Amino acid sequence: MLVRTVDGMRLSLVEVVLLALAAAVVVAVLPRCSGGPARPAERASWSLTPGVLNPDVTQATIRTTICRPGWTRTVRPPVSYTNELKRRGLQQYGLSGQLSGYQEDHLISLELGGNPNDARNLWPEPYPRAAAVDQIENDLNHRVCAGSLTLAQAQREESALKHRDG
């Protein structure tokens, strides 16, 4: 029995079975080559971490808040506070591992007007994903400050990213 492929090439049933078997082996072995199976992305929970905004940051105040260099340093909570939240968050999210494997991240980042201290705006985001998301947050901040995106649009994008993709 012959099977016709998209480009008109003909394969025997044995060749099709061998190709399928080779694909199955690749799928089974590839995760081991990269240090083990990939951990599924942790997503922020809508019920635990819905995101809370800083009432001092609005579209009208962005020039004196999030668009002012160094502003986030003036509102960032101390590590002693965020580490305690991280411990609790790991339990609430059912996660394990070292604290250092996670960043206690603001769901709505300080750069986009997230509340710095409200526990409903903080969650344990795993590394290395946390570092990659930090770059996205910085990009959204630049777009808001450049006027190509409203603050509300950026906040919605960030919330969707963390609730959908982690």
3-state SS class at 45: coil
What does the pLDDT read at residue 165?
Answer: 80
The whole-angstrom separation of Cα 105 and Cα 49 is 10
What does the pLDDT read at residue 33?
Answer: 45
Q: Break the chain into its structural domains and give their ranges.
A: 2-33, 59-164
Q: Can you tell me which residue has the tokens 């819905």?
A: 50
Token pair for 79: 């590590």
Residue 156 burial (C-beta neighbours within 10 Å; 0-12, 13-18, 19+): middle
What does the pLDDT read at residue 80?
Answer: 94
Per-residue pLDDT of the chain (166 residues; tens, 9 = 90+): 544 444 555 657 777 666 666 666 555 554 444 444 434 457 899 999 999 999 999 999 999 999 999 999 999 999 999 999 999 999 999 999 999 999 999 999 999 999 999 999 999 999 998 889 999 999 999 999 999 999 999 999 999 999 998 6
Q: Can you tell me which residue has the tokens 């709505």?
A: 108
2 forms beta bridges with: 12
Closest CA to 90 of 120, 117, 124: 124
* Region of residue 43 (left: phi > 0; alpha: psi -120 to 50; beta: else): beta
